[in-house]
A and B are shown apart, each in its own frame.
Chain A
Amino acid sequence: MRYHVRSVAAFAAGVMLLAACGNTSSGTSDTPVSGGTLNIAMKDDFKTLDPAVAYDTDSWSVERAIYNGLLDYQGFTTQLGPDIAAAMPTISSDGKTYTFTLRHGVKFSNGREVTADDFKYSFERMLNPKTQGPMTGGPFWGSVSGTADFYSGKATGISGIKVIDPYTLEIDLDSPNQSFLNVLAMPFGFVIPKEAVTAAGTDYAHHPVGTGPFTLATWTPGQLLVLKKNPSYFGTPAYLNEVDFQIGVDAQVGFLRMQQGQADLVQPDINMPSAQYIQLSTDPTFKSRIVKAPNVDIWYLGMNVNVKPFDNKLVRQAFNMVVNKANQIKVLNGRGVINNGIQAPPMPGFVPNYNPLGLDAKGQSLDKAKALLTQAGYGPSHPFPAQDLVYAKVNADSDNLASAIQQDFQSVGITINLKGLSFPAFLDVTGKPNTTALSYDGWIQDFPDPSDFIDPILTCTAANVTANGGNVAFYCNKQLDTLDDQARGDTNSADRLKLYQQIQDIVAGQDFPWVPMYSTLETSVSATRVHGYQLHPVWPLVLTSIWVTGGK
């Protein structure tokens, strides 16, 4: 996912990095107390609470509290475990058939018990083109048998999703897919009752019914969304009685509200704006309440390998030696780490201190870069053509980050013109082939599996599109695709990670479609009455660990 979701993998280097990052939770020393209301200031209204449609962290923050799926991440780790499933699935020896047994007695908030039919209904509805959800036709669920016929209308149901009995669900894949359990844990896999969808007509997005620890009490568009504790929740009940999302509150006003005791969290699903981070880092009340965790993202310059001058590998390699990556992190107030690879810390497959080009501590090697440019035919008699750097103006830091890049290239005699665009326009021009030569891009995990940092943004499939591609470099290497296919089906974790490291070597040490730059650190803060607030490695917001003392 571009911008927003974050992750931590349960893997040694990641844990070390996490420890180095500082607090990931706040106020955990008190004894939890039940009751009270948590007030959360949000800038934008929620797009939808239909799990088949929502693909943004704002919506997921609420959906995570209302719904459940077959599997979920255990506690604040990336370790998958059963949720509505009674246990982890049994997987056939060929890795293609998953059989789930459901818990008995799990009820929707309308009182009806969840059965395997509900999962089949929810999955088919989510993948039905008529639902207009983003998973239809996509790669995540594409390996489930029968999806192609379902999309094309040849079949009315998905043959690979089978209800064996009310408590047993079988899912058949066309080919083994090691990331499929993570796919199931995404919000698109949440279960909903058919009768609620029928009753809501075309407006299920505003009338969600789930099995989660909270239920939607009211939602006044543009003003307030209220969640109430679900008394019939099958899991450990939440401490909070109520969660109020105050909608439409700008971050600046939100932090004022927090200081006045009118808000407990401000837009917790995205990183704190720089201005507030600087201010609260020195505030005696709040500086100790700032929590941090890796964002599991990678920020890079994408160089379109089909467009001059980036069709020349020597130029791409030279560009990899020019950017002062340490300076980029400085612009972000130190909230990031240099990353010369394609996987983000602490994703499995991430190699700490990876440096295939032997760059210095700033991430540069300017003399080598100049030599490579000369080798590529550029010099005083044939100066390097000025390039447009296309970037998205998503926050106050965007312009500063791009300006820093401009200065870096000036030092090797290359003129960079900055072209800041709105996010929709940015997606449009970078997603079309032969349109954008150089862009400032970012990728954030959908789920904690290294495949998510390759399939959508570095494969030939992602490059061979006419529009809306995520592979902004339009880079295609068949060898990489073969290794990726091999890794997807490889059941041996160690071998699988080696394959992903080989892929990283091809991209960052051989073909250079990107200039990998850095991975960021998520920061958030809570009011003093809030306890147990933690950044989850995958979910944008987890409410069940939080309790409040005093106040409303």
Chain B
Amino acid sequence: MTRYIIRRLGWMVVVLFGVAVVTFIIAFLVPGDPARLYAGSNASPASVAIIHHQLGLDRPVYVQFVDYLWRVLHLDFGYSYRYSAPVLPAILQRFPATAELAVAGVFVEVIVGLPIGILAATRPGSIWDRITMVFTFVTLAAPPFWLGLIFLYVFGALIPIFPLGGYGNGAPQYLFLPALTLGLGGAGYYARLLRAVLLDILPKDYIRTANAKGVTPGTVMFRHALPNALTVLVTQLGMDLGYFLAGVVVIETVFAWPGIGKQAVDAIFNLDIPLVMGTVLFGALLIVGANVAVDIAYTFIDPRVRY
């Protein structure tokens, strides 16, 4: 187990290095001069040239890359052109908001998706199954920005029971709509996934045995069927959490949620290369970390899994 974890962590470093290389190359392939944007669009060419030099953008690309890697190893992600501030503290300052939204989004996915999936799986072909099918299609098909704007309009303006976006220092009433928007799409997917897995599990011999012994349907579901579906669900949950933690761009933009996703969008539009690279690397770290955590979690969930 320990060797496995060490090996996985080793690969994590390799993956992150790969991400750093790819991000750096893409950032330099994108047309546009960061110094020009930093200086303002009508700064004179001479001013831009001076800032270009000051930012070190006139050095050969490989020198900039080696310098970047060296600094990253020392947890120095550079200086954001856009915000005139160091990158890592800027990301960490925004991260709690993203983390709060990510956890709440996953929570919505689970508490909405799981009961619907169970309902559909235990009554396949019924009207309930068809209704849940419609729910999953709608939530999966609805673009999050559209869903978010509709929620804002209905519950923020038409029936004003929630604020019209914003963070409100993380108060629950501010969190509700973005978490709901974020979680609903996933909830539909979870319901479909769980239905499919349970439809596979429920005809198995051990479930039939439990039913024959007179075990209550609830116990059969929660003690025998659901634990066997957990591996698939946890895999997806881990991926989702990692993805959400890396910044939920659209939701954060629609709801004025001050997380790293919104920050990343601003950075991209402003060619703030250090912040773009820092956010991507930070996001990759979270996604890869979540995957490793899921793999380790398997050993606790499923006794058949051994490393």
Q: Do the two shown chains form a genuine complex with each other?
A: yes
A129 to B36, CA, bound (A): 15
Residue of B nearest to A1 (CB): B42
Name the interface residues of A118-132: CB closer than 8 Å to any CB of B: 129-130, 132
Report A132 CB to chain B, min CB distance, Å. Answer: 5
B25 near A: Cβ within 8 Å? no
Decide: A136 near B47, CB < 8 A? Known: A48-B84, A130-B54. Answer: yes
A425 touches B41 (CB 8 A): no
Report A510 CB to chain B, min CB distance, Å. Answer: 25
B54 touches A222 (CB 8 A): no
A247 near B: Cβ within 8 Å? yes
A139 touches B266 (CB 8 A): no
A132 touches B54 (CB 8 A): yes
Residue of A nearest to B164 (CB): A257
B271 near A: Cβ within 8 Å? yes
Stretch at the interface among A50-58, A287-295, A355-363, A476-484: A50-58
Give the residues in chain A near B164, CB-CB below 8 Å.
253, 256-257, 260, 262
> B193-209 interface mask toward A, CB cutoff 8 Å, 1 = contact, 0 = none?
00000000000000000
Residue of A nearest to B80 (CB): A47
B156 touches A260 (CB 8 A): yes
Q: Which residue of A132, A133, A139, A422 contacts B269 across the interface (Cβ within 8 Å)?
A: A422
Report B295 CB to chain A, min CB distance, Å. Answer: 34
Give the residues in chain B near A221, CB-CB below 8 Å.
83, 85, 90, 93-94, 258
Q: Which residue of B45, B55, B257, B266 contacts A45 across the interface (Cβ within 8 Å)?
A: B266
A431 near B: Cβ within 8 Å? yes
A121 to B153, CA, bound (A): 51
Give the residues in chain B near A247, CB-CB below 8 Å.
256, 258
A286 near B: Cβ within 8 Å? no
A265 to B157, CA, bound (A): 17
B257 touches A136 (CB 8 A): no
Give the residues in chain A near B160, CB-CB below 8 Å.
260
> B72-90 interface mask toward A, CB cutoff 8 Å, 1 = contact, 0 = none?
0000000000111100001
B54 touches A129 (CB 8 A): yes
B45 touches A467 (CB 8 A): yes
Residue of A nearest to B43 (CB): A134
A185 to B31, CA, bound (A): 34
B241 near A: Cβ within 8 Å? no
Q: Which residue of A220, A456, A465 contacts B42 across the interface (Cβ within 8 Å)?
A: A456
Report A459 CB to chain B, min CB distance, Å. Answer: 11
B51 touches A134 (CB 8 A): yes
B165 near A: Cβ within 8 Å? yes
A137 near B: Cβ within 8 Å? yes
Q: Which residue of A139, A220, A252 contacts B149 across the interface (Cβ within 8 Å)?
A: A252
Give the residues in chain A near B157, CB-CB below 8 Å.
256, 259-260
B266 touches A256 (CB 8 A): no
Interface size class of B (residues with CB under 8 A): 35 or more
A139 touches B50 (CB 8 A): no
Question: Which of B83, B90, B164, B167 has the most A CB atoms < 10 Å from its CB?
Answer: B164
A532 near B: Cβ within 8 Å? no
A130 to B50, CA, bound (A): 9
A203 to B89, CA, bound (A): 13
B37 near A: Cβ within 8 Å? yes
A133 to B270, CA, bound (A): 17
Report B96 CB to chain A, min CB distance, Å. Answer: 11
B45 touches A222 (CB 8 A): no
> A391-432 interface mask toward B, CB cutoff 8 Å, 1 = contact, 0 = none?
000000000000000000000000000000111110111010
Decide: A55 near B40, CB < 8 A? Known: A222-B258, A248-B256, A423-B269. Answer: yes
Give the residues in chain B near A256, CB-CB below 8 Å.
152-153, 156-157, 164
A446 touches B84 (CB 8 A): no
B33 near A: Cβ within 8 Å? yes
A104 near B: Cβ within 8 Å? no
B258 touches A428 (CB 8 A): no
A243 to B252, CA, bound (A): 24
A327 near B: Cβ within 8 Å? no
Give the residues in chain B near A246, CB-CB below 8 Å.
166, 256
B44 touches A139 (CB 8 A): yes
Report B122 CB to chain A, min CB distance, Å. Answer: 41
Give the residues in chain A near B49, CB-CB below 8 Å.
137, 468
B54 touches A427 (CB 8 A): no
Give the residues in chain A near B149, CB-CB below 8 Å.
252-253
Report B147 CB to chain A, min CB distance, Å. Answer: 14
A47 to B80, CA, bound (A): 10
B136 near A: Cβ within 8 Å? no
B152 touches A253 (CB 8 A): yes
B233 near A: Cβ within 8 Å? no
Give the residues in chain A near B42, CB-CB below 8 Å.
1-2, 55, 443, 446, 456, 470
Give the residues in chain A near B90, CB-CB below 8 Å.
221
A3 touches B41 (CB 8 A): yes
B40 touches A1 (CB 8 A): yes
A223 near B: Cβ within 8 Å? yes
Decide: A427 near B269, CB < 8 A? Known: A2-B41, A468-B45. Answer: no
A484 to B239, CA, bound (A): 62
A47 touches B83 (CB 8 A): yes
> A427-451 interface mask toward B, CB cutoff 8 Å, 1 = contact, 0 = none?
1110100000000000100100000
A7 to B188, CA, bound (A): 53
Give the residues in chain A near B35, CB-CB below 8 Å.
468
Residue of B nearest to A443 (CB): B42
16 new A-B contacts, CB < 8 A, other than A220-B258, A253-B149, A260-B160, are: A1-B41, A47-B83, A132-B51, A132-B55, A137-B47, A138-B46, A139-B44, A222-B262, A248-B253, A248-B256, A249-B256, A250-B253, A260-B164, A424-B37, A462-B45, A467-B45
What are 28 A-B pairs with beta-carbon distances under 8 A?
A: A47-B82, A50-B84, A55-B40, A55-B42, A135-B43, A135-B47, A205-B85, A206-B85, A221-B83, A222-B262, A246-B256, A248-B252, A250-B253, A253-B165, A256-B152, A256-B153, A262-B163, A423-B41, A424-B271, A425-B32, A428-B31, A428-B36, A456-B42, A456-B44, A465-B45, A467-B48, A468-B33, A468-B43
